[in-house]
Structure 1
Amino acid sequence: MNSDPGREPSPKPSDSNTAVGPHQAAFLDRLEHFTWAWFTLPMATGGLALLLSPQTQPHTFPGLETIGRAVYIWDLFVFMAVTLCITYRFIRFPGIFTGSLTHPTESLFAATPLLSLASIIAAIARYGIPNTGEWLIVAFRILFWLYFAVSFIAAVGLYFLLFTTPSLKINDMTPAWDLPIFPFMLSGTIASAGAGMQPPAQAVPIIVAGLTAQGLGMMVSILVYANYIHRMIEYGFPRPDGRAGMFIAVGPPSFTSLALIGMANDFPAVYRAFFGDDEVTVQILKVGATMSAVFIWSLSLWFFCISVLACLAAYKEMRFRLNWYAFVFPNVGFTIATISIGKAFHSSGVEWVGSAMTLVLVATYLTVGFNHARAFIRRDILCDGKDEDTYWDEVHHTLHKANADAIDRKDSRV
């Protein structure tokens, strides 16, 4: 099936293309279904690189930075590979690009390339700047402002498209509805990662912009959460195949918590006295940020527990989808936020909990990656009737069931 039910079938490769060999040709044909959701792989990988950074972890060991760098390099490779594949899809199969932006569910993941870039840019401050010269500090600043502008445009544009041709109903609701605002929100996370390395005159504007983005993202997420909880009260949990995506709800409050603490810690100790004495200002910012972070972090904890129970209740029926990477990326924010709170309160217990969560996330990433590879080999993904096609199959199944129920009710009245 095609990503757009009204679109003509995509052209098949010519004989000259298939001459490269049956296995390669089959793979290239399958790229018709290479959706935006594939960027969840570099999202999770980049998040793991940030988590494994010695600056993040409360307990380190020799070789941890080497492991983190290796994961970061792997993330760069994966991001480039996914970008090439989806570019090939849009060039090879005309009409799919616009179809992907208007598809009811695939369009929700159109922001994931920016999410992948967010972790790549933030990791520059962890693995690049400490080992290079002044030029990378300037480059980081330029990348931050470019990302800030592009992600805001994407947040407005993607929701505009979603509102212009509404196809989703409240019973379709998942936390993925929050994804278009997610990249702009992560401007705050990027700011918290690298603002402290900038000159004071440059750091403060970055922190203010990061706080603005984080605030907008969190507030939009709260509005989405209202519909999400309404949906679960009225219709129950999502289908088993969609329950991994429930962890997306863990992300916004988690990344907001860690960003608040990080930006407060990076606020220059010597700058203009916006609020009075500089030392008093920094102290107030740190106390306020830490208290607010704990307040917001509790929402992540609640969503995390609900999501875990929902997945455990249906684990036998769950089949791999690319949304399984939601087991990793949002929980990276949850883990870093937990570690940041532990550091702020100098609590060794909370820090050890964060270290244990890190080990669990590494194991989860490897498990999801194994299932990803197996699903690809088995053609459970990247195949006709899978990926973006599943939405239309479910819609047709729902309509067929509704028509059958209507006929049954009519017969019973007769």
Structure 2
Amino acid sequence: MGTGAVYLTLSNLKNHPDFLTKVEIVFFCLNIILFVTNSTILLLQLVLFRQQFVRLVLDPVKGVFVPLIVLSFATIIIGIINYLVVPGHLTFEFVYVAFWIYIAFALMVCIPMLMIWFNSSHDIKTFTPAWAFLVFPLMLVGIVAINVLRVFPLLDPRAINVLLVGYIFQGLGFFVTFFYLTLYILRVMTTGFLEGHQANGAFVACGPPGFTALALIKLGEASRVILPQFGLVSETAGEVFYATAVMGSLMLLGLALFFFVFGVIPYWFKVHKHLNEILGCWALTFPNVGFVVTFRALGDVFQSQLFWTAHAVFTYSICALFVILFSLTIFAIVRGEVLFAKEKDLWADIMPEEQKRLTDNAASFGTDTVSTLDIVHLGGRKLSVDGFSEVDLEKGERRPYANI
């Protein structure tokens, strides 16, 4: 998502040199490569290490990040619109189909994950705004919709479907995530600012108001054309939708900026500066895209140089942050700090029949039932039975302790 954040913000610059388009296309291609790679790895994990995949989905912390694959797909759709549909390489029919595919994908991932996550209790003292990632893909339907409407003929009756569905899902996503934001304030009041890896999650709170502000402005612009054209609601409905959207966007931008400052000020003093937590730092990029691009949209509405300048400053800051995080992530991978499974996780995926064989061998010597994790922690496949002998569970032999 951090890769997508770069070209999503760069593409909206007011002063946009031609060479930036080539830079954006490079990041767009890199985003596709990362998406395909991550999807392949998850698929291989499901096939080869099924228990680990199940643990990932059921984990109350790691499980909330599963829907992020849908967000990556959203950035790819927007990239397709910017660099393939706008230049004329693909038709608007393609993105109309992609819009409905995205909705299906979001529902297929988010609904089961929400059911799994809410099936168990969670402590408010461990709350982080990152838990809202479970709903983010549904909220971003509105963002995908406004990009589809940029290239889709607004006089086509199907544009009504895109507009209304965009409003519905944007409302669903924003209000559900807003409930999460209230819990975030309660958490901070209870335990103080987030610490460690959770300090990165504080920036996720900028996402719901920022993306909703952007979606409202752009959906309002489309409403000015679509609603009067088809005689829907009333003659002035389009203008009312648009005017209300602009006012609401200004207010939501203020909320997003509050959460941004709320996360920035204590960040350096609260975050753990360890390479093994570098992946969590990527939360500093994508959630901020919404309010950053909103600056550009409001700048166009009010012809305000202040908004355009703010957008440019935040955009280049995100680009600089990407370079820093990308370099540190590569360094962490080289050092084996991230992406490598722990030994206990590998042993936990041992085949059931192997587990049974080792346990049966242990039982035949009068030992208690033993798990493969216990064996690993004792340093190999040998289990100490008493102070005088050991059992080699692999061979099923008892040996005098002195001979081991």
**Equivalent position to 1:196, from 140, 150, 154:** 150
Q: Identify the residue that residue 83 of structure 2 maps to in structure 1.
A: 127
- 1:218·1:256 contact (CA, 8 Å) conserved in 2? yes
1:277-316 → structure 2 map (5 Å cutoff): 277=235, 280-314=236-270
Residue 286 of structure 1: how far off its partner (Å): 2.0
Answering whether residue 336 of structure 2 is matched by residue 382 of structure 1, we say no
Letter in 1 for 2:282: Y
Residue 95 of structure 1: how far off its partner (Å): 1.5
Residue 152 of structure 1: how far off its partner (Å): 2.6
Residue 356 of structure 1: how far off its partner (Å): 1.1
Answering whether residue 16 of structure 2 is matched by residue 45 of structure 1, we say no
Residue 140 of structure 1: how far off its partner (Å): 0.6
The separation in 2 between residues aligned to 1:227 and 1:370, in whole angstroms, is 34
Q: Identify the residue that residue 157 of structure 1 maps to in structure 2.
A: 112
Query: Larger relative CO (CA 8 A, sep 6+): 1 or 2?
Result: 1
1:95-110 → structure 2 map (5 Å cutoff): 95-110=51-66
- 1:237·1:310 contact (CA, 8 Å) conserved in 2? yes
Q: Identify the residue that residue 281 of structure 2 maps to in structure 1.
A: 324
**Equivalent position to 2:50, from 94, 115, 119:** 94
Q: Identify the residue that residue 14 of structure 2 maps to in structure 1.
A: 58
Structure 2: segments with no counterpart, 5+ residues: 347-404
Residue 212 of structure 1: how far off its partner (Å): 0.7
1:359-398 → structure 2 map (5 Å cutoff): 359-384=316-341
Letter in 2 for 1:271: Q
The separation in 2 between residues aligned to 1:89 and 1:154, in whole angstroms, is 17
- Deviations along 1:173-230, one digit per CA (max 9) or x if unpaired, are 1011100110011000001112132233121210110111111111011111121111
Answering whether residue 232 of structure 2 is matched by residue 274 of structure 1, we say yes
Residue 385 of structure 1: how far off its partner (Å): 5.2
Residue 318 of structure 1: how far off its partner (Å): 5.5
The separation in 2 between residues aligned to 1:97 and 1:80, in whole angstroms, is 18
Letter in 2 for 1:193: N
Q: Identify the residue that residue 142 of structure 1 maps to in structure 2.
A: 97
Q: Identify the residue that residue 407 of structure 1 maps to in structure 2.
A: none
Letter in 1 for 2:229: Y
1:16-95 → structure 2 map (5 Å cutoff): 43-53=1-11, 56-95=12-51
Residue 264 of structure 1: how far off its partner (Å): 1.6
Residue 52 of structure 1: how far off its partner (Å): 1.6
- 1:241·1:318 contact (CA, 8 Å) conserved in 2? no
- 2:128·2:201 contact (CA, 8 Å) conserved in 1? yes
The separation in 2 between residues aligned to 1:333 and 1:164, in whole angstroms, is 31
Residue 94 of structure 1: how far off its partner (Å): 2.5
Deviates more, 1:264-273 or 1:202-211: 264-273
Structure 1: segments with no counterpart, 5+ residues: 1-42, 390-414
Q: Identify the residue that residue 358 of structure 1 maps to in structure 2.
A: 315
Residue 316 of structure 1: how far off its partner (Å): 6.7
**Equivalent position to 1:246, from 190, 198, 202:** 202
TM-score, normalized by length of structure 2? Answer: 0.80
Deviates more, 1:207-216 or 1:314-323: 314-323
1:303 and 1:139, CA in 2 relative to 1: closer, same or farther beyond 3 A?
A: same
Answering whether residue 301 of structure 2 is matched by residue 333 of structure 1, we say no
Letter in 2 for 1:328: T
Aligned-pair identity in percent equals 24
Pairwise CA RMSD of aligned residues? 2.0
- 2:139·2:171 contact (CA, 8 Å) conserved in 1? yes
- 1:52·1:67 contact (CA, 8 Å) conserved in 2? no
- Deviations along 1:144-195, one digit per CA (max 9) or x if unpaired, are 11211331343322111011133x3111110111001100110000011121
Residue 303 of structure 1: how far off its partner (Å): 0.4
Q: Identify the residue that residue 351 of structure 2 maps to in structure 1.
A: none
Answering whether residue 131 of structure 2 is matched by residue 174 of structure 1, we say no
- 2:141·2:166 contact (CA, 8 Å) conserved in 1? yes
1:80 and 1:384, CA in 2 relative to 1: closer, same or farther beyond 3 A?
A: closer
Deviates more, 1:263-272 or 1:116-125: 263-272
Deviates more, 1:289-298 or 1:306-315: 306-315
Q: Identify the residue that residue 233 of structure 1 maps to in structure 2.
A: 189
Letter in 2 for 1:171: K
The separation in 2 between residues aligned to 1:192 and 1:355, in whole angstroms, is 21
- 1:196·1:203 contact (CA, 8 Å) conserved in 2? no
- 1:171·1:235 contact (CA, 8 Å) conserved in 2? yes
How many residues of Structure 1 are paired with residues of Structure 2 in the alignment?
340
The separation in 1 between residues aligned to 2:46 and 2:111, in whole angstroms, is 23
- Deviations along 1:238-260, one digit per CA (max 9) or x if unpaired, are 22222111111111110101111
- 2:203·2:259 contact (CA, 8 Å) conserved in 1? yes
Letter in 1 for 2:125: N
1:316 and 1:220, CA in 2 relative to 1: closer, same or farther beyond 3 A?
A: closer
